[in-house]
Amino acid sequence: MARANSSRVTQFILLGLSDKRELQVLLFTTFLLAYAMVLLGNLLIIAAVRTDPKLSSPMYFLLCNLSFLDICCTSVTAPRVLVDLLCQRKAIVFEGCIAQLFFLHFVGSSEMFLLTVMAYDRYAAICRPLHYPALMSRGACWLLVCSCWAGGFLHSITQTLLTIQLPFCGPNTIDGYFCDVPPVLRLACADIRTTQWLMASNSGLISLGCFLLLLASYVPILLAVRGRVLHGHCRALSTCAAHLAVVTLFFVPCIFIYLRPFSTFALDKYVCVSYTVLSPLMNPLIYSLRNSEVQESLGRLWKR
């Protein structure tokens, strides 16, 4: 069939995480529970922040946006995985594959930028408390969040355009449970070395750059709270530790996957579970269970 990009492939076959029926049943149950917990946990955080005036600080505004992105990120892959685990033939049409690729990178890169902004928020709150109201005003928060979404869109549309201009004439088998740039590129019937370098410099360097920038922001924070025993600083340090745990779980697998333009490992599809399922699952657990204000707000929300 003739296509706009000269492709003869009309669908891709996803091999999934396993071809054993018993293991597929176990994976279906695990993914279903994880997806339900992601939806429930993040929706509760959004509801608490939106309804409780006490959670009106910039930190909770950013946390609310992070929860929304977590829901979107998991929803791009999880429903499709659940359906495929119940089917013998796991096929996805070409257009659906490209759409999944676009939205995954859109919300994923937006979340990377947002996590970096959250680190800046903690830096401003701890290291520049007198200037914090001006640095993180409501208008500044909206500008930062919109910039994260805009940056995510530009990144994703670049990845998508570089992918759809390639010819796909077979094979059409993807060793994974969703469509992503690296496995799809390897199916192209063309020399993709230049494209792979462009992809690595886009996704890989963005992941690495955001992670290093985020880590660098914590150096002045640790220096500021060193030797202080005030409750406020201990609490801030605890919040930063939780933030670092989340971003490490999210960024390290992304760097591992996207900073290798020419190599692939069988482990890759299992590593992807970390940033598509585990990280969105851990965010509400870490931020809600370790935060007394969120716990109290959820308690009031339950009573209402």
**Domain region containing 248:** 11-303
Of the ranges 147-151, 188-192, 274-278, 298-302, the best mean pLDDT one: 147-151
Q: What single letter denotes the amino acid at residue 127? A: C
Q: What is the pLDDT of residue 226?
A: 66
| pLDDT more than 90, % of the chain | 23
Q: Which two tokens stand for residue 211?
A: 């992670």
Q: Is 26 among the domain residues?
A: yes
Mean pLDDT of 248-266: 81
The answer to the question of residue 3 being in a domain is: no
Residue 4 has a pLDDT of: 44
- pLDDT confidence of residue 6: 46
Q: What is the pLDDT of residue 295?
A: 73
Overall number of domains in the chain: 1
pLDDT at 37: 92
pLDDT at 1: 38
Residue 160 belongs to a domain? yes
Q: Hey, is 189 helix, strand or coil? A: coil
Query: What per-residue confidence (pLDDT) applies to 61?
Result: 92
> Where do we find the tokens 């355009």?
161
DSSP string of 206-246, one letter each residue: HHHHHHHHHHHHHHHHHHHHTT---HHHHHHHHHHHHHHHH
- 204: domain CATH number? 1.20.1070.10
Residue 256 lies in a domain: yes
Q: How far is CA 231 from CA 227, 234, 236, 238, 250, in A?
A: 12, 5, 9, 11, 29
Residues with Cβ within 8 Å of 227's Cβ and at least 6 positions away in sequence, in order, are none
DSSP β-bridge partners for residue 91: 13
* Residue 6 lies inside a defined structural domain of this protein: no
The pLDDT value given to residue 220:
84
Q: Enter the tokens of residue 90.
A: 């796991």
Q: Predicted confidence band at 240 (pLDDT cuts at 50, 70, 90)?
A: low
